[in-house]
Amino acid sequence: MRQSKLFTKTKKEAPTDEVSKNAELLIRGGFIHKEMAGVYSYLPLGLRVLNKIENIIREEMNAVGGTEMRTAVLQNKEIWEKSNRWDDAIVDTWFKTKLKNGGEVGLSFTNEEAYSNILKQYVSSYKDLPIYPYDFKDIFRNEVRSKSGIMRGREFYWKALYSFSRNEDEHNEFYEKMKIAYQNIFKRSGIGHLTYMTFASGGSFSKYSHEFQTVISVGEDTIYLDEDSSIAINKEVYNDETIKGLGLKKEKLVEKRAVEVGNIFSLGTKFSEPFDLKYKDEKSQDKLVIMGSYGIGLGRLMGTVVEALADDKGIIWPESIAPFQVHLLLLGEDESVKKEADKIYDTLMKKNIEVLFDDRDSISPGEKFAEADLLGMPYRLVVSSRSMKEGGIEVKKRNEEKGKIISLEDLLKIFKLEPRA
């Protein structure tokens, strides 16, 4: 992409009502646009990041046998009354609206009822199970507090997978696979070294659920971390019994602030029962389906990456989810330099290297450098009269202080990518 054709522009200041680092940097960089508190539009650069996160998650869900589908946003009141979660006294974050021809619908705040109702139509025998459907969709929650940028929104994009199993053993086997899949997701997204599987309350379903908490100073949660084993405990279940049960030593646990970037938990038969979601086993006896829930907010993950990795100059994107691998900067108005920059741009494109080309001639070198630091692409390439005199291109990683001049041939060796077919 040529930056001269990118309609978004960077800003020197973020809205004064934004207090979170992720919102400030993402708005200033032109990744997102704030519509209102807790509601953001994803602009071209931001959407590229979101799509890459989505693809990582999709690959990991498919690898454990997930089947992708898409559930509706508009939800039927009668379905939610079956589980007693239509009542505002039970769930106080609903967005609801009236239909013109009468009746009332809600906007999805979660998916348990939707999936249970759908699967009821397709499950009758033990041969129909297990099933692991998932989807990516917009979720709406009428949150009172929305002050953490895209880490806590009233409208947000998430992935939810639900497991439907014949028995506890089958459920537990899949649950263990999902622990690994989630760890893979956060590792591939660049924050695996800061993210810990955390024991949390299992509610009425099981002794524990598992959260994935990323350690950052502005996190909303408090966890207690054993740094040797990488096991963490949420404050809500932090007690002597839990510590002993997990084989940990209290004196070794370190208190940390963290943000929850994903969670997995067992549901038992809580949502299969009200929908009469049963199957006939090998003896033709009716059994309730055992369910589990596995969620990740994609925007929250994106915002957490920014919070965790950014420096005082701007964002530092991991290569796996960066909008572009390379930010190519053209400095000066010399025609020979422009031709060389165009040649490098074309070469990178043909090699299937994602590149944002700052070809603007109305921006000073200092402004281009500052914008490149703010936008945070993994590699910055500079083509200038100086670099050409020294026989190449200046290349610098975003988190390095100084760059070096190398040839185009050596540059391509860094990426080791095949040409486009």
Note the pLDDT tens digit of each residue in 25-52. Answer: 999 999 999 998 889 999 999 999 999 9
CA angle 164, 170, 172 (to 5 degrees): 95
Q: What is the pLDDT of residue 419?
A: 46
Same domain, 330 and 285: no
Per-residue pLDDT at 417: 52
pLDDT of residue 255: 97
Statement: residue 261 has pLDDT above 60: yes
In the numeric block, which tokens belong to residue 5?
A: 């054709």
Q: How confident is the model at residue 148 (pLDDT cuts 50, 70, 90)?
A: confident
**Which pLDDT belongs to residue 418?**
47
Both tokens of 265, joined, read: 């938990």
Q: What is the CATH number of the domain that holds 265?
A: 3.30.930.10
- Asked whether 169 and 324 are in contact (CB, 8 A), the reply is no
Which uninterrupted H or E stretch holds 225? strand 221-226
* Whole-number pLDDT of residue 360: 92
What tokens does 210 get?
């598992």
Look up the domain containing 350 and give its range: 326-415
Measured in residues, the chain has a length of 421
Q: Given a cut of 80, is residue 304 above it in pLDDT?
A: yes
Count how many domains the chain has.
2
pLDDT band at 146, cuts 50/70/90?
low
- The reported pLDDT for the residue numbered 37 is 86
User: In sequence order, which residues have a C-beta less than 8 Å from that of residue 204 and are 6 or more positions away?
Assistant: 268, 270
My answer on whether 275 and 382 are in the same domain is no
Place of tokens 């002794």: 207
Cα of first residue to Cα of last residue in the chain, in angstroms, is 19
What is the reported pLDDT for 132?
A: 98
Does one domain contain both 296 and 333?
no
Same domain for 338 and 197:
no
**pLDDT tens profile 69-106:** 999 999 999 999 999 999 999 999 999 999 999 899 99
Asked if 177 and 220 touch (Cβ cutoff 8 Å), the reply is no
User: In degrees rounded to 5, what are phi and psi of residue 373?
Assistant: -65, -40
